[in-house]
Structure 1
């Protein structure tokens, strides 16, 4: 009979297998990376475009194009696009990121030849109708006005701008930026960015020769978009801004966001830094959660993260606490960092973190889509699957002394930018 008073035995994940993609090329030169896996007649196709032509005076160009690209083409209205996609049981969405923009299609294989012409029209013939642009501006301004009342949004916004300035990573977008959106600028950006030489396609699901031939027949043709483009490229220096205090006299809670520029996924220390981050604030059993939430009761949640972008990496800690304990919470955060810099992590705690991280990695590879996501991470970082082999080996073997050294290298709180939004 099962003894429920005893926890099940845990053991370390021994092996994690990744599905490597097949690389092919469409007739117009677009590379296609395919994770052909799964038994369902379902496929996800992602058309990813590098963001280009950054202009700080027009910070919303790429964002607006991403939002409006499926709202009308030369031959299809926004309603017709939506109706046709719905008719075939497909799902079409756009995603904007600071480095790339994505048009993502989910469809049954049997409807691929019917749905892809809609996608081709969107990618090649979008016209950004004035009426749709006006609705977008109105909705986004209303959404921004609501967000500007939220302390955590303000903290995130000011923190990013302090680290990255007026770049896509930290652009301090305001209501007036939406008023400056012009249809002509969107058309120019669309023609410059959405073209075959700036596109990479990632496919996941049951996708074999027949499906590839269908994709090539429809999307492998020349596109009309031939605008001039300059790749986005940025460089940053760590210039800590100290404490940035944004007073909200009516606030009940203060939002805290602190951190610094850091290394990217390309750096050999990055996997070890991820282990260090997990210990500090990267999962529910982290030290910050144990101290700030469980012991002190200052917050419902606190976490830290290491982020890797194309041209920069950064580390941050984020939480919301009662205004009366804001200063105490920040002192406790710094205390936990100091402990990591001065004391060795106990082996049982490190074992727990190892098991969590390896289990999380294994659990994140549940289907073809997640395997494709893992490949995209390394592809856009200029890496290959050796990165994951090194990551897994680092998680398994990193020592307490290694973590202490990393903490002293990368967690220097005197160099942190600290943003507090609340009652001062």
Structure 2
């Protein structure tokens, strides 16, 4: 019989094992990192490129270039590309972030001889056809217009502009930007960024021995005379701390608060993640307990630390009724300051530690998630000892150390505060 009265005994997570990436190299020196695991004969191949040359007068060129790569090559139309990938039960995805652009292919091993050449076509022969480009620009423009109607989006845009200025990390796309996109600019950016000297390949899944040979045959002879130039991020934060956007008919105010912050490379980063979890990093956080559970001001509130390659930021985000906007700001300030004055109780800290350890363990469910953990360290110039430090720090950090970090990094008066709606 199951004992439905007494819960099962709690067991601490003592050790977490990572499937470490093995490094290989193609004939042309492209690094290939392999995470071999899984039961099914499925693999994900990621062709990752560092972004370059962000320009204020051509701000959306990197993202549009990445979106257009699958829209036609010298020998394949966009419809033919989609049809071939679908025929073999594969899936293609182009991803873009501030720091990187990638082309990702999910495919069964047995169909890689048919699906991988399509990726090669995109990387060596994309043509950015006018018809597809115009359709994409029209759709993206309409999507942006709809997004600009939402207070949460406006708050996020105003927040990043306030802390990072007119830089890669701070600029927000404008509707008129889509009217200035030119095909020749996309082609120039494509040639500058999507080449073997700027490429890293990450493969995860059940890896067959023939796969590396196939990749070397297809991509090992890929050459380019381009030399990739790293981009600079010159962030100039606003002198103004409060940014208010009036929405007379708003029923809710979107609030976003925070500051430029350290990223994953900083020695205090892991400790600050523990501190952030206490404040607003999980469902049992202080902000949730106060502003959602106790006051009933919002359905959701949270905080986080975003780690970018050349910067980082800490933020608190929520949407509340316009009639309780000021009260919410008061409660947020109170919770931040309490972590600077009072020690976290051991019971609360134990819960946070268990949550973080469980989250890390739960995030390692398959080869793809192990690949994500590898990318999190590799592109920051870190090794797997980062995770050893993470586990040790989470297990051993003290209330005194957390209070010390709160006093070192959190000065509420210096936080940027963005409100969209009504004060």
Q: Residue in 2 aligned with 1:303?
A: 302
1:166 aligns with 2:166: yes
Q: Give the Å deviation of 1:8.
A: 3.0
Distance 1:8 1:259 in 2: 40
Q: In the superposition, relative to structure 1, how do residues 228 and 186 fare at CA in structure 2: closer, same or farther (>3 Å)?
A: farther
1:281 aligns with 2:289: no
Q: Residue in 1 aligned with 2:219?
A: 219
Q: Residue in 2 aligned with 1:140?
A: 140
Q: Residue in 2 aligned with 1:88?
A: 88
Q: Give the Å deviation of 1:54.
A: 1.2
Q: Residue in 2 aligned with 1:194?
A: 194
Aligned ranges 1:65-76 → 2 under 5 Å: 65-76=65-76
Distance 1:288 1:247 in 2: 25
Distance 1:329 1:210 in 2: 58
Q: Residue in 2 aligned with 1:423?
A: 422
Q: Which stretch shows the higher mean deviation, 283-292 or 209-218?
A: 209-218
Distance 2:15 2:265 in 1: 23
Q: Residue in 1 aligned with 2:47?
A: 47
Counterpart contact for 2:33–2:203, Cα < 8 Å: yes
Distance 2:84 2:237 in 1: 49
Distance 1:324 1:389 in 2: 46
Partner of 1:336, secondary structure, is helix
Q: Residue in 1 aligned with 2:181?
A: 181
Distance 1:358 1:211 in 2: 34
Distance 1:107 1:202 in 2: 14
Aligned ranges 1:118-157 → 2 under 5 Å: 118-157=118-157
Distance 2:36 2:228 in 1: 33
Distance 1:260 1:330 in 2: 16
Distance 1:139 1:229 in 2: 31
Q: In the superposition, relative to structure 1, how do residues 229 and 31 fare at CA in structure 2: closer, same or farther (>3 Å)?
A: closer
Q: Residue in 2 aligned with 1:349?
A: 348
Distance 2:300 2:254 in 1: 11
Summarize deviations over 1:199-251 as a string: whole Å, max 9, x none. 1000001124311001111111224x555642112244665531100001010
Counterpart contact for 1:235–1:311, Cα < 8 Å: no
Counterpart contact for 1:43–1:205, Cα < 8 Å: yes
Q: Give the Å deviation of 1:411.
A: 1.3
Q: Residue in 2 aligned with 1:230?
A: 229
Distance 1:273 1:68 in 2: 39
Q: Residue in 2 aligned with 1:386?
A: 385
Distance 2:237 2:395 in 1: 31
Equivalent residues, number: 423
Partner of 2:71, secondary structure, is coil
Counterpart contact for 2:245–2:421, Cα < 8 Å: yes
User: What runs of 5+ residues in structure 1 fail to find an aligned partner?
Assistant: none
Q: Give the Å deviation of 1:125.
A: 0.4
Counterpart contact for 1:240–1:260, Cα < 8 Å: no
Distance 2:133 2:165 in 1: 27
Q: Where in structure 1 do 4 or more consecutive aligned residues deviate above 4 Å?
A: 225-229, 237-240
TM-score by length of 2: 0.98
Counterpart contact for 2:287–2:302, Cα < 8 Å: yes
Q: Residue in 2 aligned with 1:374?
A: 373
Distance 1:227 1:31 in 2: 17
1:262 aligns with 2:261: yes
Q: Give the Å deviation of 1:3.
A: 3.4
Q: Residue in 2 aligned with 1:317?
A: 316
Summarize deviations over 1:149-187 as a string: whole Å, max 9, x none. 000000001101111112221112111101000000000
Counterpart contact for 2:264–2:307, Cα < 8 Å: yes
Counterpart contact for 1:192–1:226, Cα < 8 Å: no
Counterpart contact for 2:278–2:285, Cα < 8 Å: yes
Counterpart contact for 1:155–1:420, Cα < 8 Å: yes
Summarize deviations over 1:77-109 as a string: whole Å, max 9, x none. 000000000011100010000000110000000
Q: In the superposition, relative to structure 1, how do residues 383 and 235 fare at CA in structure 2: closer, same or farther (>3 Å)?
A: farther
Q: Give the Å deviation of 1:6.
A: 3.1
Aligned ranges 1:316-335 → 2 under 5 Å: 316-335=315-334
Q: Residue in 2 aligned with 1:340?
A: 339
Q: Give the Å deviation of 1:377.
A: 0.3
Q: Residue in 2 aligned with 1:405?
A: 404
Distance 1:290 1:238 in 2: 32
Summarize deviations over 1:124-152 as a string: whole Å, max 9, x none. 10000001110011101110110000000
